[in-house]
Amino acid sequence: MILNNMSQLPRTVRVVLFLLFFLSGFCGLVYQVVWTRMAFASFGIITPVLSVVISVFMLGLSAGAWAGGRWVGALVEKSGLSAAYFYGLVELIIGFGAFAVPKLFALGHHLLLASGESNSLGYLALSALVLAVFLERVLYYMELAERTVMELTVSNVNSALTVRRALDMLAGRASNDPTAPSRNPFALAGMSPANFHGEIDSPNLADLERGYWVFDQTRRELIYLPRLRRGLDTADPDGAIRFRLERRANDTSMLVPTSKYAWN
């Protein structure tokens, strides 16, 4: 609905909005460069500082895109205002936030210096602690996102298999394929994620890229290789999560783990 409303705007208004989006992205890149230099001045020219600034910057972009896509439709419907108003409000908040960042850097610098001389072991240790906390949070949310995508993929496969069985029942077709539980679940569900290695006989998981799926044709298992696994508890020697199709009482095949795992 929002896209349809935008397409009905006059060409001049659409050009202005496009330029505003362009300038917003340009300012965002300027923020990143300036804040990186300020972080170097406050905490030292070290790799963790650059990693934290870029990671937090990208986290903000992804969180903003997710929140905007999730809520702007409801806000437009409830308020009757154009999405451009909410976009302008967010830009205003970001603008005020840009003035706050230098003061926050200065505060952090002051607190770190209060612990000792700038070249002291205490200062460096406290700087490392601050950076470690930020990095730990970034890695936590990256791992949480990876786990969510994996679980969503499994849920999508099971939903597709359930829908397929329901359509067969409506069409009066009996499910009499005894080989279904041993086949590639992605092929049965009619889907194939971009991070799917394919079907391999007895794959050497150590040689495969992490963050990908693979179907072991020998063991008839769908395997996921987590990229980040700090919170993963599994007995699998390769640190993998294995699934297998299991036929249920209603003659529907469902993807279930072959062994217990906990990923927190």
Specify which of 34-38, 68-72, 194-198, 246-250 reaches the highest per-range mean pLDDT.
194-198
Q: Rounded CA gap, 84 and 2, in Å?
A: 10
Number of neighbours of residue 186 by Cβ within 10 angstroms: 21
What pLDDT digit, counting tens, does each position of 178-214 carry? 667 788 999 988 888 889 989 999 889 988 999 999 9
Dihedral (CA of 78, 84, 85, 86) sign = positive
Residue 248 pLDDT > 90, yes or no? no
Q: Rounded CA gap, 240 and 197, in Å?
A: 14
Q: Rounded CA gap, 88 and 147, in Å?
A: 34
Residue that the structure tokens 């896509």 belong to? 69
Question: What residue type is 18 in one-letter code?
Answer: F
Number of H helices, E strands in the chain: 6, 7
> Which token pair is 12?
């001049």
Three-state secondary structure call for residue 229? coil
Q: Rounded CA gap, 175 and 166, in Å?
A: 10
Confidence grade of residue 4 (pLDDT, cut at 50, 70, 90): very low
The larger pLDDT score, comparing residue 39 to residue 226, is at 226
Q: Rounded CA gap, 243 and 221, in Å?
A: 6
C-alpha separations of 3 from 61, 73, 84, 105, 149 in Å: 21, 10, 12, 39, 27
pTM score, two decimals?
0.55
Question: What residue type is 12 in one-letter code?
Answer: T
Residue 136 main-chain phi, psi, to 5 deg: -65, -40
Q: Rounded CA gap, 249 and 223, in Å?
A: 25
What pLDDT digit, counting tens, does each position of 115-165 carry? 555 555 666 676 777 778 877 888 888 898 899 999 999 999 999 888 888
